[in-house]
């Protein structure tokens, strides 16, 4: 599988799955435009040092702002050229969610917290997709969104997150039906538990082993690079007949 000289935008590229995806895509030949709410310049510098100059370009972008998104994507096109693909990984979970507690239940959920999560995960994905579709090469390309098993099954004490990810699933399927005739494929990954800072935000050292053992058939969290490899497959021509699909990577949830 190769993405040699393909220009791929990655949101949420500063850490976690986004960082791992950016590094992996560069490793298999892609040129990557990196976006995060704080400029992922450190990631871009690491890629350019390891794989050659002008392989990565970084800029700050708040995906909740359509104006910010449009400006950031134009900067990527100016630096690297039209996009061949994009990965929308920017996202947040609910504040204060801790395993084994009832923090985050709907009856206590502030409007501001609901809006923060939905604006980032769902509206942010919409904003990025709209910009990406305008920045894609005339030949078409592939967009990969980030859903979650929470969006498929629901998650107690984190309803805003689950709703936002269910929305991403519907958005992915809907827009894929608009763009197929233009040779643009749109799919989504649906991770379970991944070993990233987001996992640390709602587990601790004492609760994590039991959570892992009881959550999925494999009894462990995914590593970010495992998710990155699925994303790379969906960006590549190896998945040329896949669109409007949701790909679970959840260890047998």
* Position 115 in a domain: yes
Return mean pLDDT, the chain. Answer: 94
Does residue 2 fall inside a structural domain?
no
79 is a domain residue: yes
Instruction: Give the domain CATH number at 38.
Output: 3.40.50.720
Q: Please tell me the predicted confidence (pLDDT) of residue 2.
A: 85
Residue 1 domain-assigned (yes or no): no
Lowest-pLDDT range of 49-53, 91-95, 114-118 = 91-95
Of 75, 82, 83, 81, nearest in space to 58 by CA: 75
Number of compact structural domains in the chain? 1
Closest CA to 99 of 212, 22, 251: 212
pLDDT of residue 103: 79
Judge whether 190 lies within some domain. yes
The tens digit of pLDDT for each residue in 189-232 reads 999 999 987 776 666 666 666 666 678 999 999 999 999 999 99
Residues assigned a catalytic role? 161, 165
pLDDT of residue 77 exceeding 70, the answer is yes
Residues 6+ apart with CB under 8 A from 112: none
| pLDDT tens-place string over residues 136-181 | 999 999 999 999 999 999 988 899 999 999 999 999 999 999 999 9
Q: What residues have CB less than 8 Å from 249, skipping those under 6 apart?
A: 189, 190, 191, 192, 222, 226, 227, 230
Instruction: Tell the burial category of 112 from Cβ atoms under 10 Å away from its Cβ (0-12, 13-18, 19+).
Output: exposed
Spatial separation of the C-alpha atoms in residues 210 and 196, rounded to whole Å: 17
153: in domain: yes
Instruction: Please report the pLDDT score of residue 7 as a whole number.
Output: 99
Q: How many Cα atoms are found within 13 Å in the side-chain-facing hemisphere of 215?
A: 23
The boundaries of the domain holding residue 83 are 7-249
Q: Tell me the HSE value of 100 on the side-chain side, using a 13 A CA sphere.
A: 8
Which residues fall within 8 angstroms of residue 215, CB to CB, at 6 or more apart? 192, 193, 251, 253
């Amino acid at each position: 599988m190769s993405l040699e000289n393909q220009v791929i935008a990655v949101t949420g590229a500063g850490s976690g799955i986004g960082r791992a995806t950016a590094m992996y895509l560069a490793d298999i030949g892609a040129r990557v435009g990196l976006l995060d709410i704080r400029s992922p310049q450190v990631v871009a510098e690491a890629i350019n040092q390891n794989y050659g100059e002008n392989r990565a370009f970084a800029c700050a972008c708040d995906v909740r702002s359509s104006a910010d998104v449009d400006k950031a994507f134009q900067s990527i096109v100016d630096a690297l050229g039209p996009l061949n693909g994009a990965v929308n990984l920017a996202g947040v979970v609910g504040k204060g969610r801790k395993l084994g507690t009832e923090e985050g239940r709907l009856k206590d959920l502030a409007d501001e917290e609901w809006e923060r999560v939905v604006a980032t995960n769902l509206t942010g994905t919409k904003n990025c997709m709209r910009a990406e579709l305008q920045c894609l090469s005339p030949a078409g390309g592939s967009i990969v969104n980030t859903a979650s098993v929470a969006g498929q099954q629901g998650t107690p004490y984190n309803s805003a997150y689950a709703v936002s990810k269910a929305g991403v699933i519907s958005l992915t399927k809907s827009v894929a039906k608009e763009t197929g005739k233009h040779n643009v494929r749109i799919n989504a990954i649906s991770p379970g538990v991944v070993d990233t800072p987001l996992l640390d935000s709602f587990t601790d050292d004492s609760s994590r082993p039991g959570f892992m053992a009881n959550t999925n058939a494999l009894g462990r969290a995914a590593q970010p690079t495992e998710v990155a490899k699925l994303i790379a497959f969906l960006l590549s021509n190896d998945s040329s007949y896949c669109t409007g699909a949701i790909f679970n990577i959840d260890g047998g949830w």
